[in-house]
Amino acid sequence: MARSQERSQRKASGGRHHYVRTKRKYELSGYPANTKLASERKTRSQRTLGGNRKMSLLEASHINIADKKGKTTKAKILNVVENPANPHLVRRNIITKGAIVETEKGRVRVTSRPGQEAALNGMLV
């Protein structure tokens, strides 16, 4: 069965929505990228509506860190420390927006969306 982004089959009251048409190609949803901590950078490209490309980051080892003054440096990621989205992602070393990672320069909060932008940016905590 295809993964879809269409409306739920249930109303807020608990009743059912009755559809008048079938699923459409542009309503398909993608699988999550689940960006992992690895030794090399690995990306995936996906064709989107209009022939455009959407890049997602699958594996990463470095992060761009912005300090309070706006200066940006690149640092190696050592470990995933915390993930407020889902605590189980920490054990699997999966990086999402809002995750806190341990780097050579200290703890960094991820501010970019690696699964959507194919970039890993963050700010020192």
Looking at residue 50, which CATH number applies to its domain?
A: 3.10.290.70
Q: Considering the domain boundaries, does residue 5 fall inside one?
A: no
Instruction: Indicate the number of domains in the chain.
Output: 1
Q: Considering the domain boundaries, does residue 51 fall inside one?
A: yes
Q: Considering the domain boundaries, does residue 95 fall inside one?
A: yes
pTM, entire model: 0.82
Q: Considering the domain boundaries, does residue 17 fall inside one?
A: no
Task: Give the strand pairing for 106-110 and 121-124.
Answer: antiparallel
E-strand stretches of 24-96: 35-37, 42-47, 53-60, 62-66, 72-82, 94-95
**Longest CA pairwise span in the chain (Å):** 56
pLDDT in 10s for each residue of the chain, 125 residues: 678 888 888 999 999 999 888 888 888 888 899 999 999 999 999 998 899 999 999 999 999 999 889 899 999 999 999 999 999 999 999 999 999 999 999 999 999 999 999 999 999 98
Residue 35 to residue 57: CA distance in whole angstroms: 6
Q: Considering the domain boundaries, does residue 27 fall inside one?
A: no
**Cα-based angle 2, 117, 86 (whole degrees, multiple of 5):** 65
Q: Considering the domain boundaries, does residue 113 fall inside one?
A: yes
Q: Considering the domain boundaries, does residue 16 fall inside one?
A: no
